[in-house]
Amino acid sequence: MENYQATIDQIISFLTQYRFLIDSQLTATFIPDYFSEIPEEWINYLLSFDYHQLIQLPKILDQITLPSLHRFISDIISLSPNYPHYSDQFETSKFECYFMNPKKVHECKKLARFIFEKSINLGLDRIIDIGAGQGYLSHLLVTKGNLKVTAIEAKDHNSHQSEKRGKFIRRKMKKEEADYNTISLFVTPDNLINYTQDPCILTGLHTCGDLSATCIKAFLSDTNIKGMINVGCCYEHITEYINPCAQELVEKYLEHIGKSYTGRNLDESLNKSDEKAGFPLSNYIKITYPCFFLGRIAKKLAMSEVSLIENPEKTFKQLDFRAAFQVLLGEAYPEKSNVFCIGQGVKKYTDFRDFVSKSFLKIGLENPYRDDNLNEMYEIRFRDQEKKAAIIWSLRSLMGGLIENLILLDRAKYLSENSVNTEIFSIFDKTLSPRNLALYSWKN
Q: Mark residues 2-41: x for contact with ligand SAM by CB under 6 A, - for none.
A: ----------------------------------------
Q: Using CB under 6 A, which of 205, 306, 323, 402 touches ligand SAM?
A: 205
Q: Using CB under 6 A, which of 64, 140, 187, 346 touches ligand SAM?
A: 187
Comparing CA positions, the residue from 221, 257, 439 lying closest to residue 340 is 257
Based on C-alpha coordinates, what's the Rg of the chain?
24
Secondary structure class of 416 (helix, strand, coil): helix
233 binds ligand SAM (CB under 6 A): yes
Within 13 Å and on the Cβ side, how many CA atoms surround 187?
32
Between 211-221 and 400-417, two packed helices, what is the crossing angle to 10 degrees?
10
- Degrees to nearest 5, angle at CA 54 with 48 and 58: 120
131 binds ligand SAM (CB under 6 A): yes
Select 133 or 295, whichever has its Cβ closest to ligand SAM.
133
Task: Give the range of 85-93, 162-170, 191-199, 207-215 binding ligand SAM by CB under 6 A.
Answer: 207-215
236 binds ligand SAM (CB under 6 A): no
At closest approach, how far in Å is the CB of 42 from ligand SAM? 37
Task: Give the range of 74-82, 150-158, 175-183, 282-290 binding ligand SAM by CB under 6 A.
Answer: 150-158
Q: Using CB under 6 A, which of 136, 195, 241, 316 touches ligand SAM?
A: 136
At closest approach, how far in Å is the CB of 53 from ligand SAM? 33
Question: Beta strand pairing status for 437-442 and 225-233?
Answer: antiparallel
158 binds ligand SAM (CB under 6 A): yes
At closest approach, how far in Å is the CB of 226 from ligand SAM? 21
Comparing CA positions, the residue from 306, 293, 309, 303 lying closest to residue 251 is 293
Secondary structure class of 439 (helix, strand, coil): strand
Strands (DSSP E) found in 78-224: 126-130, 148-153, 180-184, 200-208
Residues within window 373-392 making contact with ligand SAM, judged by CB under 6 A: none
132 binds ligand SAM (CB under 6 A): yes
Q: Mark residues 330-369: x for contact with ligand SAM by CB under 6 A, - for none.
A: ----------------------------------------
Q: Using CB under 6 A, which of 23, 125, 153, 267 touches ligand SAM?
A: 153
Helix%, strand%, coil% for the chain, nearest 5? 50, 10, 35
Select 151 or 306, whichever has its Cβ closest to ligand SAM.
151
166 binds ligand SAM (CB under 6 A): no
- Written as one string, the DSSP assignment of 338-388 is TEEE--S-GGG-S-HHHHHHHHHHHHT---TTTTS-HHHHHHHHTGGGHHH
Total residue count of the chain as it appears in this document:
444
Residues binding ligand SAM (CB under 6 A)? 104, 131-133, 136-137, 152-155, 158, 186-187, 205-206, 208, 211, 214, 233
